[in-house]
Amino acid sequence: MPPTRHTARRDPSAAPTLAEVRDQIVNCTACPRLRDYCQRIAREKKRAHRDDTYWGRPVPGFGDPDARVVVIGLAPAAHGANRTGRVFTGDGVGGSCDFLMTAMHAHGFANQPTSHHAGDGLRLSGAFIAAVCRCAPPDNKPLPYEIAACRQHLDAELAALPNVRVVVALGRIASDACWRKYRPEGPSAVTRPAFAHGQVIDLGTAGVPIIVESYHPSRQNTNTGRLTPPMMSAVFATAKRLAGPVGA
Ligand code: SF4
């Protein structure tokens, strides 16, 4: 008689795992405007990528499940992550992906300074990259109700990452999302400081990550010198110092 197989059952009330969250994100259809836009871009393509098969679906986070640092961006680029299917990947020479990865690599969070396509061998160590909105928006501008709808996915990813100590918020909208999530309420409520590049917000609450604010590495900021490589690097030096050594 063959041995009886016992299948371990998960507690149905347990928070979703990272793999389950990924599945939920990839199959989300909550925002018709964004889903239509991403699919249209994936069909029409850009001349330079006409031979590529675009991802065209919502983009889940990417990185180390033991991450102590989570980087939160805004949304996939139409011909970047919406094409490659990996967050902060493939927006071309001089784009935000390599700019960000160069800084993360310099501080040991990435094994290479570039992020070109999902099979390029990039691995993150001690870090995870997520976004406020998982579908590429027209003009890179998600609407407030779309950001609100997508909050569930960021919350679920953060809940599935048990070791997070620092959140790097890339841009004001990402910082808004962090503040909304982590702000203290009731008698201990504090006034939110104005957004500032390099600002560290430590709410001093057990289990609540420290927020490090940064300008977003969009071409608009990097081409104008508003955000320089040393400034981006300094953000990750701060994040590394605050998060402590990996495995501690
Ligand atoms: S933006 Fe977020 S909530 Fe809206 S469809 Fe995409 S994944 Fe779903």
- The correct answer on CATH 3.40.470.10 for the domain covering 18-243 is yes
What local confidence, expressed as pLDDT, does residue 50 receive?
A: 96
Pairing of strands 69-73, 166-170: parallel
Residue 139 predicted with pLDDT over 80: yes
Q: Which of 31, 74, 82 to mutate to test the pocket of ligand 1 (most atoms within 8 A of CB)?
A: 31
> What is the rounded CA–CA span in Å between residue 237 and residue 240?
5
Model confidence at 1, pLDDT cuts 50, 70, 90, reads very low
Q: How far is the CA of 29 from the centre of ligand 1 (A)?
A: 6
pLDDT number for residue 3: 45
What is the distance between the alpha carbons of residues 136 and 146, in angstroms, rounded to a whole number?
Answer: 11
* 143-190 pLDDT tens trace: 999 999 999 999 999 999 999 999 999 999 999 999 999 987 776 677
pLDDT band of residue 74 (cuts 50, 70, 90) is very high
Pocket test for ligand 1, best of 23, 27, 35 (most atoms within 8 A of CB): 35
Angstrom distance (rounded) from CA 204 to CA 185: 13
Q: Distance between CA 14 and CA 10 in Å, rounded?
A: 7
Q: Are strands 200-201 and 210-214 parallel, antiparallel or unpaired?
A: antiparallel
Tell me how far the alpha carbon of residue 30 lies from the centroid of ligand 1, in angstroms. 5
Residue 66 has pLDDT above 60, yes or no: yes
**What length does the chain have?**
248
State residue 2's pLDDT score: 46
Contact 126, 143 (CB under 8 A): no
Eight-class DSSP state of 107: T
Measure 53 CA to ligand 1 centroid, in angstroms.
Answer: 21
Ligand 1: list residues with CB < 6 Å: 25, 28-31, 34-35, 58, 133-135, 146, 149-150, 153
Instruction: Give phi and psi for 52, each to the nearest 5.
Output: -85, 150
Give the model confidence (pLDDT) of 4-28 as tens digits. Answer: 444 556 677 788 999 999 999 999 9
**248/243 Cα distance (integer angstroms):** 9
pLDDT level of residue 94 (50, 70, 90 thresholds) = confident
Model confidence, pTM: 0.93
